[in-house]
Amino acid sequence: GPLTKAGLTNLAALPRLEILRLSECNLNDDCIKELSKLKNLEALDIDYNKAVTDVGIESLSRSKSKISSLSLKNLSITDEAIKTLSKRPELKELRLNNTAITDKALKYLADSKIESLDLYGTKVSDIGLKYLSKSKTIKFICISQCPLITKYGLRAFTQETGCQPVSVIY
């Protein structure tokens, strides 16, 4: 069944918890606020929890956790969530598949320490790739099912960064 508030409170009380996968658990912003108490959390997967919004991600961004890998596939988040996340120096891997992010999110991430970025099924475009090409840390990017990215934008990005995107489907 769904994860209860009591269950989350119990999880948040585990001081050494480092990896947590809570995909499709009917989580909401209050649940994420509870999870942000996990100080040693390094990897968090909260995919397919449609009730999680920018508010929940912002509480996670302000937390003392050490999250380096974060999966936010199919969440109801926008560029605002990425604005706060991009300020976290320990965040290296971010999955934003099928979210409502735009090129503005890539502008924020260009100044972050992000190394691996999954943008599958988003509405980012060549403009966003141009912003991201200024990143000094990006090594891996997935832009499958991103219809607004053209081969020209892709070519400019790879020439600028030396980063070879993993998969491209037009």
Domains of the chain: 1-67 (no CATH), 78-170 (3.80.10.10)
Give dist(CA 113, CA 24) in Å, integer: 28
Mean pLDDT of 9-38: 93
Give dist(CA 110, CA 130) in Å, integer: 9
The residue written with tokens 């596939």 in the block is: 73
pLDDT digit string (tens) for 93-137?
999 999 999 999 999 999 999 999 999 999 999 999 999 999 989
**pTM, two decimal places:** 0.92
pLDDT of residue 167: 47
Cβ-Cβ contacts under 8 Å for 10 (sequence gap 6 or more): none
Q: Please provide the average confidence, as pLDDT, over all residues in the chain.
A: 92
